[in-house]
Amino acid sequence: MATSAGVFLALAPAAFLVGLLVWVLLVVVTRIVSVASIAAALVVPVAVHATRGTGAVFWLSVGLAAFVIYAHRANIRRLLRGEEHRFGRRNGVTR
C-alpha cells in the first residue's frame, strides 16, 4: 500500500490526497486499517479519473487498486467473519 501511495503522490498528487483523506477518516471511524486501505484503493482511480481523465495514470490506478484488493483477500475474509484486528485494541480490550 505504501509503495502505491508513493507512486500516486508523484503521478497524481490530488488523487493521492483524496485517497489519504479517505484512509485517515476510515481509520479514525472504524479503527480497521485494512478497511481504510481497501477503500482508499477504490477511491484513488475515481479521483484520478476526475482530475486526469482516462489516460495511462488512470489505468495504472485501476491495476494497482485491483492488486491492493487482491493483496488484502485474507483481511477481507477476516472482515466477513468479524475477526479483523482493530487498531488500538489488543484481544478485544481497548488499551
pLDDT score for 93: 47
pLDDT digits (tens, 9 = 90+) for 4-59: 888 889 999 999 999 999 999 999 999 999 999 999 999 999 999 999 999 999 99
Distance separating alpha carbons of residues 89 and 19, to the nearest angstrom: 25
For 43, the grid coordinates are 477511491
pLDDT of 90 over the 80 cut: no
Name beta bridge partners: 94: 89
pTM for the structure as a whole: 0.85
> Could you state, in order of their start, the residue ranges of all structural domains in the chain?
2-87
State the residue for C-alpha cell 484513488.
44
Distance separating alpha carbons of residues 46 and 26, to the nearest angstrom: 17
8 Å CB contact between 45 and 4: no
Distance separating alpha carbons of residues 1 and 44, to the nearest angstrom: 12
pLDDT band at 91 (very low <50, low <70, confident <90, very high): low
